[in-house]
Amino acid sequence: MNTLKKLKSIDAIYWFVAVFFIAALVFVPGFANLAALERLLSQGCVLIILACGVHLTVLNGGVDFTSTALLALTTVVGGSIMSTKGPLGGSAGALILGLLVMVLLGLGFGIINGFSITTFKMPSFIVTMATQMIVNGLAVVYTGGSSVTGMPSAFAKFGKGSIFIFPYLLIVAVGVALVMHIITTKTLFGRQLYAVGTNHKAALISGVSPRKTIFKAYVLSGVCAGIAGIVMLAYMQSGSVNYGATMFNDIMGSIIVGGTSPAGGRGKIANTVMGALLINMIDSVLNILGIPYYFITLIKGLIILVAASIDLIRMDRKVAR
């Protein structure tokens, strides 16, 4: 009885991931080998990091469109700095500078977003949409549209290497997710974030400043986008203004499938990570099965709908509003 209760309290997303994974192992030819699993894991890293960042903004009922565009900007700027073809010739210093610049770019645009949203009270939807255009435009201006290549070999090793079947990149992604998990669950800021997301006014009157909290959420989301840029650059070994163009739906999908409420105030980072893995796995498995991509798009759309419906039903049962 007790075990049953415990099993029931596990969030649905874990079951889906587990069931889907096992089913894929059994039924999908070519899926059940270590190399394939390693590829699967390395594919999911960028999505995990971005989803974690955007998750924070969704927690206070907002959204961050800029993060996908930042993926493009950071990879081309960072890539051009650390490239062996660049002015610094791919030295160790260039590498470090490149990484730093990428994170700072993310931070910078996070600050711009956060500032506009909290100071001018602009809806995040529009602000981040506008900054997305601007960031994408800047990336295009910076490169003229061409890709950036010639990553230093150390960086290439980092991008391709792995321990057993766990790519280094995954370790970065899990690290980011872990930090985000700790931030949301164990820290003062995390508690403030949930409070603001649940009831803006009550939080304000209880001495939690929504402005500061929301600002921090967007800054963190920006930083996550910067780190995601690094992982992307390492994974792809080239920077391109094209990155992230079609990723936003997957990011929102991960968050929603993970059971986060788009109205704010509720949702766990761990579930979002699971959501990202699930979305990634669906993509991969359907690809391997040779399903046309438009069906994959369609199926992902349906899964978002179904997941959101289920989430609402569960909430209805849990909390009598």
Partner 1 sequence: MSEIALELKHITKSFGEVQVLKDITLTLKKGHILGLVGENGAGKSTMMNVLGGIYQRNGGEIFLNGTEYRPASPKDAGAAGIAFVQQELNLFTNLSVTENLFITDMPRNKLGIVNKREMRRTVEEKLKEVGAEEISPDTIIASLPMGQRQLVEITKSIMADAKIIIFDEPTTSLSNAEKEKLFGIINKMKEQGKSIIFISHILEDVFARTDEIAVLRDGEIISQRKTSEADAATIIKEMVGRELTNIYPTCEKTIGEVVFETKDICQEGRFDKVSLRVREGEIVGIFGLMGAGRTEYLRCIFGLDPMSSGEVIYRGKQIQPVEPENCIKNGMALITENRREEGLLLPKTLRENIVLSSLKAHRKGNGRFFMNAGKERESTAKMTEDLRIKTFDPNEQTAGTLSGGNQQKVVFAKWVLSDPKVFLLDEPTKGVDVGAKYEIYTIIQDLAKQNSAVIMVSSEVEELMGVCDRILVMNNNRFTGELTKNEDYSAEEIMKYAVGGAM
Partner 2 sequence: MEKVTARAGKTADGKRAKELFMDYGIYVILIAMIVFFTVQKPNFLTIGNILLILRTSSVLGIACVGMFFVLIVAGIDISVSMNMYISAVVGGTFLNNLGMPLPVCFVASCLCGLVIGSINGFFVTKVKIVPFIVTLATYSVARGMALFLTNQQMMFLDNKVMTLASAKFLGISAFVFIFLGVVVIAHIVLTCTQFGRQLYACGNNLQGANKMGINGPRTVFFAYMICGALCGIAGMLSACNLGVINPNFSQGDEFVVISSSVIGGASLFGGKGRVFPGAIIGIVMVQAIINGLTMIGASAYVYTIFRGVIIFLAVMVDSIKFSGEIR
Partner 3 sequence: MKKEMLRKAFGIAMAGVMAISMVGCGGGGSSSAASETKSSAAPEASAPAEPSSAPSEAASAVESAVSAASEAGTEKSDITIGVSWCAIESQMWAEYQNTIKAECESLGVKYTESVAENDVQKQNQQIEDFISQGVDAIIIAPADGEAVVSAIQECNTANIPVIMANRAAGEGCEVYATISSDNKAMVKREIEYIVSITPEGTKYRCLELVGSLTDVNAIARQEGFEETIAEYPDMFELVSTVPTEWKGDQALAGVQNTFSADDTVNFIFSPSDALLPSIISGLQQLDKYAKVGEEGHVTLVTFVGAADAVSAIREGYVDVVSVQDATNQAKLCVQAAVDAAGGKEAQDYTDAGFEVSTQNVETDYADFTGY
Binding site for partner 3 (CB under 8 A): 12, 15-16, 19-20, 23-24, 27-31, 33, 35-36, 39-40, 43, 46, 72, 136, 140, 144-147, 149, 159-160, 232, 235-238, 240-247, 282-293, 295, 298-299, 302-303, 305-307, 309-314, 316-317
Token pair, residue 134, equals 């601007």
Residue closer to partner 1 by CB (options 155, 215) is 215
Q: HEC states along 24-61?
A: HHHHCCCCCCHHHHHHHHHHHHHHHHHHHHHHHHHHCC
CB of 217 to partner 2, least distance (A): 11
Total Cβ atoms within 10 A of residue 137: 13
Does position 252 bind partner 2 by CB under 8 A?
Answer: yes
Please give the residues from 246 up to 265 whose contact with partner 1 meets the rule CB under 8 A. 265
Return the closest-CA partner of residue 297 out of 226, 246, 242, 261.
246
Q: How far apart are CA 310 and CA 90, in angstroms?
A: 50
Please give the residues from 197 up to 236 whose contact with partner 1 meets the rule CB under 8 A. 198-199, 201-209
Contact residues for 253 (Cβ-Cβ < 8 A; gap 6+) = 275, 279, 300, 303, 304
Contacting residue, 10, 92, 125, 202, with partner 2 by CB under 8 A: 125
Chosen from partner 3, partner 1, partner 2, none, partner binding at 88 (C-beta under 5 to 8 Å by type): none
Decide if 222 contacts 111 (C-beta within 8 A): yes
Chosen from partner 2, partner 1, partner 3, none, partner binding at 221 (C-beta under 5 to 8 Å by type): none
What's the one-letter identity of residue 14?
Y
Contacting residue, 127, 151, 177, 269, with partner 2 by CB under 8 A: 127
Residue closer to partner 3 by CB (options 274, 286) is 286
Q: How far apart are CA 291 and CA 289, in angstroms?
A: 6
Residue closer to partner 1 by CB (options 29, 318) is 318
Q: How far apart are CA 224 and CA 231, in angstroms?
A: 10
Does position 221 bind partner 2 by CB under 8 A?
Answer: no
Does position 266 bind partner 1 by CB under 8 A?
Answer: yes
Q: Which stretch binds partner 1 (CB under 8 A): 47-55, 150-158, 181-189, 235-243?
A: 181-189
Token pair, residue 166, equals 């766990």
Does position 189 bind partner 1 by CB under 8 A?
Answer: yes
Q: How far apart are CA 29 and CA 316, in angstroms?
A: 40
Q: How far apart are CA 122 and CA 209, in angstroms?
A: 17
Q: How far apart are CA 295 and CA 298, in angstroms?
A: 5
In the three-class reduction of DSSP (H, G, I as helix; E, B as strand; rest coil), residue 148 is classed as strand
Residue closer to partner 3 by CB (options 252, 286) is 286
Q: Give φ, ψ of 62 to 5 degrees.
A: -105, -160
Contacting residue, 36, 142, 191, 291, with partner 1 by CB under 8 A: 191
| Helical (H) or strand (E) element with 167 | strand 166-167
CB of 20 to partner 2, least distance (A): 18
Q: How far apart are CA 84 and CA 89, in angstroms?
A: 4
Does position 192 bind partner 1 by CB under 8 A?
Answer: yes
DSSP state of 265: S
Token pair, residue 108, equals 């910078």
Residue closer to partner 2 by CB (options 158, 194) is 194
Q: Which stretch binds partner 2 (CB under 8 A): 15-23, 134-142, 175-183, 223-231?
A: 134-142
For binding to partner 2 (CB under 8 A), which residues are involved? 60-63, 116-118, 120-127, 129-134, 136-138, 140-141, 144, 200-201, 210-211, 214, 249, 252, 256, 261-263, 292-302, 304-305, 308-309, 312
